[in-house]
Amino acid sequence: MSTTPITMHIGELAERTGLSLRTLRHYDQVGLVTASGRTEGGFRLYTQEDYDRLILIRRMKPLGFSLEEMAELLRVIDAMDASPDRDTRAILDGFVKDAGERRAKLQQQLAMADEFVALLEARR
DSSP for the chain reads: ---PPPEEEHHHHHHHHT--HHHHHHHHHTTSS--SEE-TT--EEEEHHHHHHHHHHHHHGGGT--HHHHHHHHHHHHHHHH---HHHHHHHHHHHHHHHHHHHHHHHHHHHHHHHHHHHHHT-
pLDDT given for residue 4 in this prediction = 57
pLDDT given for residue 3 in this prediction = 57
Low-confidence ranges of the chain (pLDDT < 50): none
pLDDT given for residue 60 in this prediction = 95
The CATH number of domain 7-122 is 3.40.930.10 = no
Question: What pTM was computed for the model?
Answer: 0.82
